[in-house]
Amino acid sequence: MNTMDEDLAVKALAALAQSSRLRVFRAIVGAGPEGLQPGQLAQALEVPANTLSFHLKELQHAALVTVQREGRFLRYRADLSAMQGLMDFLTAHCCQGVPCGNEHLVTCQANGR
């Protein structure tokens, strides 16, 4: 999702506009490229499994996370390109239309995030 339209931006912002879901998303982002399994998230955030499942589906529907099946388990990862697309959408008209540099770029490095 390199180019985000207004409808997708609204979905992403709506998904993040709930405190528990925002905590879930931040935990997944914090895990980096490895992502997290729902059990790890539930334990770390002390969220019941059924509630967590609802939040993960909302984040996935908003295209903020991806899910990959690993045998019987699922692994959720932040979609950093979607996150960057949202940031680009939100800052597209800053600085009176003059590019203001790369201060808002989302980057994730294996060491020293």
Q: What is the pLDDT of residue 111?
A: 43
Q: Tell me the percentage of the chain whose pLDDT exceeds 70.
A: 82
User: Does 46 map to a domain?
Assistant: yes
Residue 9 identity (one-letter amino acid): A
Cα–Cα distances (Å) from 27 to 30, 36, 53, 94, 102, in that order, read: 5, 8, 15, 29, 24
Sorting pLDDT into bands at 50, 70 and 90, what band is 4? confident
The alpha-helical segments, DSSP class H, found in 17-105 are 19-31, 38-45, 49-61, 80-91
In a domain, 45, yes or no: yes
The total number of structural domains that make up the chain = 1
Instruction: Please give the average per-residue pLDDT across 78-91, as a whole number.
Output: 90
Element (H, E) at 8: helix 6-16
Q: Give residue-wise pLDDT tens across range 37-67.
A: 999 999 999 999 999 999 999 999 999 999 9
pTM: 0.81
Flag whether 109 is in a domain: no
In a domain, 72, yes or no: yes
What is the DSSP code string of 21-43?
HHHHHHHHHHHGGG-B-HHHHHH
What phi, psi does 60 have (nearest 5°)? -70, -40
What mean pLDDT is predicted for residues 75-96?
A: 88
Residue 55 maps to which CATH number?
A: 1.10.10.10
- Cα separation of 26 and 65, whole Å? 11
**Domain housing 73:** 6-97
How confident is the model over 77-93, as a mean pLDDT?
A: 89
| pLDDT tier at 113, thresholds 50, 70, 90 | very low
